[in-house]
Amino acid sequence: MANWLQVIRGARGWHWARAGIIAVVGLALLAGVAAAVSTSQQTWMVSNPVPDDPLEGVADGNSLFSNISYTGRWVAFESQAANLTNDNDSYNDIFLYENYDDTENPGTRKEAFSEITLGSNASSYYPTIARTSGESPWDQPAGGGYTYQDVFDGRFVSFESTSSQFSYFHSYESDPLAGKMDVFLYDRGVSTEDYEGLTIPGIYTSPGIWAMTPANLTANGQAPNGPSGNVLPLTSVHNNANGAHIAGNPLKPGSSVYLGTDAEQRVVFESLATNLVSATLGLTPSSDGQSNRHIYVRTGFYQAGTTPSGLDPRQIRLLSKNAAGVLANGPCTTPAATSTGRFVAMVCKANNLVEGVTIPNGSDSKPLAQVYLLDRDFITNGTYDEELDYKWYLASQYVDPSTSATGAAGADESWYPSIAEDGQFVYVAFHSFAENLVDSYDGQASTSNASDVFVLVLDKSNPAVRELYLGSRASGLAGAAGNYHSYMPSLSADGRVVAYTSLANNLVTADHNEHCGFTIDGELYTNCPDVFIRRFYVSGGGEPQTWRASLSPNGVEAYYNSAFASLSGNSRFVGFSSYTDLRVDQQLRPSQLEQVHIYIRDMSETSGNPNIQPSSGYFYAFPGGSYDITFNLTFFEGDLNLASALYLESPQGGGADAAFSIISDTCNPAETWSSGDSCAVTVRYTSPDTEYREALLSIPFGGYTRRVALFGSTIMRIFPLVSP
């Protein structure tokens, strides 16, 4: 059995061990380093000392767990690198990256870095950034031409750390948790200089880290008696003996930050402490790091290094209890809250949260891990967590596609919830090994004997109306289900788009990166994991679309492993980690980077519309011969017009190499392309000699151009020498 992280490292078998997490991280902020970047660039590396410059050196440590804000302007991530800022320690730190338009130089953008945990004496992990929603109260005027979203999007970052520097208790008492994990909140701060003319009171603060579970906020004034955050991931028992654990509870943050409608920041988090609330409901300390892991919500914070006073212990509330107030009878982990906080998704190994559903046991004779959805305001009076106001739903449960009737719980484990909410619906994405969640409706039955990505859609005003979709599938209503593991989904704010990692090679045209090597269930597997996007809801009658996001600026697939997708709320940007140098287009074997790096992919102003398949072209012809590739453009959202006919150009600018030519093109620039429309262009490569050649297929729209990299190679006949 392969360790899950080997899928990221591939043949080199890299592990980023969590078992030996060491102590702490300090408090300091580094002013960002700004640089201009062309807005035409579609993929760029975030985790290098000068993020926009391909010629600069890269980070000298692994970078993972990017988490991106609604607008895509802010990206929080974790890194071991010491050369991103003036940090020379060897600890994992949390960084905040900013990407914004350069108003002084139209057509370019600026980038900046802040190291949230600069100068720490130990490591920090798992950042989660606050995301507003276009459907939330934050999309309202805030004065000065700004909206609440402008001010609060990406402002707060929760993270996990063993830092004694962040956990001052009782007038600078030393950390009573003795280096165990806790959860913290970072506020990047807002100033009147940043947002002149704002009329929102009480929001102006300096950057700082705020304590999450300090001793004076427990029920009895004592220190928390256990760590918080995803300290030790719950054990996956994966009920299917023939399957792999490759997606069995992969690493995921143990906290989720949101803003209430009162502009008060709140953090939902998991904890093994049993004294955070006064009504313990039978909580007892856990000896195995598994049992009595529960989900809490925290309101009210004080800045680390200050003496707290007058804070109400009731600002921590226990969420993992059923509608009758009875504690979940199994551990709960990896919570995810909507932008309003009304709904929280989580994984629980419990069987007393939803009535009328039998939860099957795993091989350990305990309930299988299932994904649950909690409505904290079922009576919709605007007050959360009132007595008897809870409503629980089982997300990992069969849903009849024609009647919305629910059936059996997932027959195998489900993990990694992501959540979104709009005006009418709440959406929960997760991955599951269960093969009984969907049937043959629209061909979406899962028969791959592997984990798949699903999305539950629930009508908030009429919860009996719900749908469950298979997300890890090729384009179309009846697109083929992924033929191997898909996992770790990330939803857009409106729930209509999901990003995920997959080992499948049948989700898009020309998935050829068979360059990895790792063993799963005793068999060698070579297809590298990639990051994919699935758009479920398409206006105007078009069919759902799937495309790959782990690409170079002009659509070249990552040669090595890519994973850990994080989708922006507006679905324009996706962050992910990769071992491939994706800053430039490379056909031939690129050098495998020594570290995992964070990339951002800009899927254009139209968020990936049109879907271009294949995303790049590899041409192979004998000398004097030719080879054709047809590129299909599928339009799926809104109306688009091409600015001109499609054309070929050189990667260096100017005319394209004469070896490439367009021999047919149905993409008429005079036509308005609507959802459901498609067109195609065929490019021919005629090999004039043995030289390797490159070109770009350019697809111009108003204000930006999509480009597809083309590579031409010559096939040489090789005759073996035969002895007479």
Q: What is the CATH number of the domain that holds 659?
A: 2.60.40.10
Domain-embedded: residue 286: no
Q: Which residue has the higher pLDDT, 280 or 310?
A: 280
Average pLDDT over the chain reads 80
Q: How confident is the model at residue 587 (pLDDT cuts 50, 70, 90)?
A: low
Q: Is 33 left (phi over 0), alpha (psi -120 to 50) or beta?
A: beta
Domain-embedded: residue 146: no
Domain-embedded: residue 287: no
- Is 259 found in the same domain as 404? yes
- Is 559 found in the same domain as 410? yes
Q: How confident is the model at residue 495 (pLDDT cuts 50, 70, 90)?
A: very high
Domain-embedded: residue 148: no
The listed range with the strongest mean pLDDT (235-249, 307-321, 383-397) is 383-397
Predicted pLDDT of residue 297: 92
The listed range with the strongest mean pLDDT (258-262, 368-372, 712-716) is 368-372
To the nearest whole percent, how much of the chain has pLDDT over 90?
A: 44
Average pLDDT over residues 306-321: 64
Average pLDDT over residues 580-608: 80
- Is 600 found in the same domain as 673? no
- Is 197 found in the same domain as 302? yes
- Is 641 found in the same domain as 592? no
The helix (H) or strand (E) run that includes residue 9 is: helix 6-9
Average pLDDT over residues 293-318: 66
718 Cβ neighbours under 8 A, 6+ residues apart: none
Domain-embedded: residue 467: yes
**Alpha carbons 220 and 487: distance in angstroms, whole number:** 41
| pLDDT at position 52 over 70 | no
| pLDDT at position 240 over 80 | no
**Alpha carbons 410 and 426: distance in angstroms, whole number:** 20
**Alpha carbons 150 and 158: distance in angstroms, whole number:** 19
| pLDDT at position 647 over 90 | yes
Q: Nearest-5° angle of CA 64, CA 70, CA 72?
A: 60
Average pLDDT over residues 516-532: 81
Average pLDDT over residues 318-326: 92
**Alpha carbons 508 and 326: distance in angstroms, whole number:** 46
The lowest-confidence range among 218-227, 512-521, 630-639 is 218-227
Of the three residues 608, 631, 664, the one that is the final residue of a domain is 608
Which structure tokens are listed for 39?
A: 């807005």
Range of the domain at 422: 6-136+162-274+292-608
Q: In what order do the strands lie in the sheet with 611-613?
A: 611-613, 626-634, 678-686, 660-665
- Is 616 found in the same domain as 604? no
- Is 583 found in the same domain as 507? yes
Predicted pLDDT of residue 138: 58
**Alpha carbons 125 and 95: distance in angstroms, whole number:** 10
- Is 522 found in the same domain as 376? yes
Of the three residues 592, 608, 624, the one that is the final residue of a domain is 608
- Is 619 found in the same domain as 600? no
Q: How confident is the model at residue 562 (pLDDT cuts 50, 70, 90)?
A: very high
- Is 577 found in the same domain as 671? no
DSSP string of 534-563? EE---GGGPPPEEEE--B-TTSPBPSS-EE
Residues 561, 618 contacting (CB under 8 angstroms) = no
Domain-embedded: residue 281: no
652 Cβ neighbours under 8 A, 6+ residues apart: none
**Alpha carbons 280 and 648: distance in angstroms, whole number:** 68
Which structure tokens are listed for 460?
A: 């908030």
Of the three residues 608, 639, 662, the one that is the final residue of a domain is 608
**Alpha carbons 447 and 472: distance in angstroms, whole number:** 12
DSSP 215: G
pLDDT (tens digit per residue) in 595-626: 899 999 998 877 889 999 999 999 999 999 99
Which structure tokens are listed for 215?
A: 């001793």
The C-alpha torsion from 64 through 69 and 74 to 75, rounded to 10°, is 0
pLDDT (tens digit per residue) in 408-450: 999 999 999 999 998 889 999 999 999 899 876 445 555 556 8
Q: Domain tally for the chain?
A: 2
Domain-embedded: residue 141: no
The whole-model pTM stands at 0.89
Within 159-248, residue ranges assigned H as helices are: none
- Is 421 found in the same domain as 296? yes
- Is 598 found in the same domain as 670? no
Q: How confident is the model at residue 645 (pLDDT cuts 50, 70, 90)?
A: very high
**Alpha carbons 227 and 216: distance in angstroms, whole number:** 16
Domain-embedded: residue 632: yes
Residues 192, 247 contacting (CB under 8 angstroms) = no
Which structure tokens are listed for 498?
A: 């999901």
Whose CA is closest to 530, among 479, 483, 565, 573?
Answer: 565
Within 493-599, residue ranges assigned H as helices are: none
The lowest-confidence range among 117-126, 553-562, 675-684 is 117-126
DSSP string of 456-525? EEEESS-TT-EEEEE-SB-SSTTPPBPSS-EEEEEE-TTSSEEEEEE--SSSSTT-------EEETTEEE
Predicted pLDDT of residue 426: 96
